[in-house]
Amino acid sequence: MENDELKESRRDSPQGDLGTAPYGNFRCYYSFNPAEARLALIPQNLLYQLFPETTTSLAILDVGCNSGGFAVAFYQHVCTCSSPVHLLGLDLDPWLISQARSTNSHPQNIRYEQTDITDPIHRDAVLQDFLGSLGREPGPLDLSLCLSVTMWIHLHHGDAGLKAFLAWLSANSRWILVEPQPWRCYRAAGRRLRRLGQAEPPALAGMLGRPRARCDVKAFLCEECGMRFVKSFGDTTWGRPMLLFGRNTRQEGEEDQDEG
């Protein structure tokens, strides 16, 4: 058991000293979790598969975009579909957003804003401004990416905060690609912060004693948020699944996909 936990801890902290990063706001995240490893799981024609009929701009949100390494790589990976793609990356860490802006190789198509996604007023204003800049009325985004972020929201805002975020994301997205962190990551995050002499995230202690009561991202999206699980693109090299969800109302041109 102890060995397993040590192994998990190393796998989740492969680089050793990650800084404190209490919100997962690691400053060199993409040096130890390269975007390419995850993109290898995602088909290049993903947007064509999801929006076969669309000719207008597609609006994509990247929640917790860190320094933009995945956002740019994802944009380049999928932007060959016929419609123009516009991506909004949000992160609560101002330093990471400034890094993302200064290295943005596609400023016409990718935009970054410092936003706490759990702050309803700010996030909605930023989102409406983004959609307005594309000439779109308020309404759902075409696709939202939520990669390795759910645990941090969960740890800092508890079950209620994670559920409120997932409900908001579902109400505002036609499709969601989520990479939830499994439970072993929670323990590793708690251990890492304790090792660094940092306070444990507020909700962690409450979750330790009641594993069955914890919010399960996949179940909550499907049972409470009107989403349906479409497919898993497989596990990343860190053993985290990449899960695609779609709104329950069938989209135009959408075909049945692997529900397994």
**DSSP output for 98-114:** HHHHHT-S-TTTEEEEE
Nearer to ligand SAM, 81 or 147 (CB): 147
Least gap, CB of 57 to ligand SAM (angstroms): 22
Least gap, CB of 37 to ligand SAM (angstroms): 11
Least gap, CB of 259 to ligand SAM (angstroms): 25
Least gap, CB of 18 to ligand SAM (angstroms): 10
Nearer to ligand SAM, 187 or 251 (CB): 187
How far from 18 is each of 42, 50, 71, 78, CA to CA, in Å? 27, 36, 21, 30
Nearer to ligand SAM, 24 or 254 (CB): 24
How far from 64 is each of 5, 91, 146, 226, CA to CA, in Å? 26, 4, 7, 23
Contacts of 124 (CB under 8 A, 6+ apart): none
Site string for ligand SAM, 48-87 (x = CB under 6 A): ----------------xxx---x-----------------
Please say whether the beta carbons of 217 and 241 come within 8 A.
Answer: no
Site string for ligand SAM, 147-186 (x = CB under 6 A): xxx--xx---------------------------------
The two structure tokens encoding residue 209: 């004693």
Least gap, CB of 241 to ligand SAM (angstroms): 13
Give the C-alpha separation, 124 to 159, whole Å. Answer: 21
Residue numbers 106-135 binding ligand SAM by CB under 6 A: 116-118
DSSP 42: S
* Strand ordering across the sheet containing 141-147: 110-114, 85-91, 58-63, 141-147, 173-179, 241-247, 227-235
Residues at the interface with ligand SAM (CB under 6 A):
23-25, 29, 64-66, 70, 90-93, 96, 116-118, 147-149, 152-153
